[in-house]
Structure 1
């Protein structure tokens, strides 16, 4: 009788451990990881763009008795082109806008780096961010300050610039 009880208790513990592991794996698989480690609250313009994109993709409900009424529409914003830019120290999702400005949508550091907090995301002629080695004791590897611009054809380009913080 005691052996049977030990087997049931062991099986229950194994089942609970398996269920907990499966739940953790499921949560990791379904989590939104789009730059969440460095996400920031949306500004008013970003909220308007997100709402415009959502409402443009949703179709209005059809009602047989309602006739469409003319409405004033807001002037449409020029389309933008998003792309992912990879560089030493990380990557960034960048919008090259039709007016020639650049906007950093999100960014993520590469292994062994972190992105400094003073990111200049735009929109503007240039956006800036700095990839720094995660190990502060590593004097061999310098910080990597980048300027990101939209080049010909609306393609973003990142270039390392002189670090203004160096003494």
Structure 2
């Protein structure tokens, strides 16, 4: 009787585990990705641009009686991505020749130091640091815009540590 009881209990556990697994697989397969499903794919640069364009609100035109204020006119901006050994950054190259870091992301095995000089300025700066490899040097970068195109260049490390 005891062997039979153990077999029934084991079969019940297996059935419950199988049902739970099947339910989880069904839920993932039928998900539309709106809730951030585990199988959703990252967006490529073109898809990100399209999503940003679609989500950008249309500005309300100024009334005819009031002239637009100079501060309400945004400068001409060209946004693009620059890639470098320690990662990548989304950069705005502005009409006045200045650069502004919009966002940045480290490459695998690196992290970006908290000391980011994002601009707008003639030069933006950030430093990519290797994760656990003390033998690999830090990579300080200066990012400039030349003819509307961002360029990242490694510069000498000025840290005293």
**TM-score over 0.5 for the pair:** yes
Partners of 1:95 and 1:69 in 2: CA distance: 30
* Shift of residue 161, structure 1, vs aligned partner: 0.7
SS in 2 for 1:130: strand
SS in 2 for 1:77: coil
| RMSD between superposed Cα atoms in Å | 3.4
Q: Counterpart in 1 of 2:37?
A: 26
* Shift of residue 139, structure 1, vs aligned partner: 2.9
Q: Counterpart in 1 of 2:16?
A: 9
User: 1:143 pairs with 130, 135, 138, which one?
Assistant: 138
Partners of 1:13 and 1:115 in 2: CA distance: 41
Partners of 1:28 and 1:12 in 2: CA distance: 21
Partners of 2:116 and 2:39 in 1: CA distance: 27
SS in 1 for 2:40: helix
SS in 2 for 1:12: helix
Instruction: Indicate conservation of the 8 Å contact 2:28/2:38, yes or no.
Output: no
Give yes or no for the alignment of 1:119 onto 2:116: yes
TM-score by length of structure 2 reads: 0.69
Give yes or no for the alignment of 1:99 onto 2:96: yes
Partners of 2:16 and 2:154 in 1: CA distance: 60
Q: Counterpart in 2 of 1:54?
A: 57
User: 2:106 pairs with 109, 119, 123, which one?
Assistant: 109
From the superposition, tell whether residues 143 and 20 of structure 1 become closer, same or farther in structure 2 (CA, over 3 Å): farther
Deviations 1:84-135 (A, max 9, x none): 0000000000000001100000000000000000100000000000000011
Partners of 1:149 and 1:17 in 2: CA distance: 49
Name stretches of at least 5 consecutive residues in structure 2 with no aligned partner: 1-7, 46-55
* Shift of residue 13, structure 1, vs aligned partner: 1.6
Give yes or no for the alignment of 1:165 onto 2:159: yes
Paired residues in the alignment total: 135
Larger Rg: 1 or 2?
2
From the superposition, tell whether residues 154 and 69 of structure 1 become closer, same or farther in structure 2 (CA, over 3 Å): closer
SS in 1 for 2:57: helix
Instruction: Indicate conservation of the 8 Å contact 2:139/2:157, yes or no.
Output: yes
Partners of 1:129 and 1:154 in 2: CA distance: 20
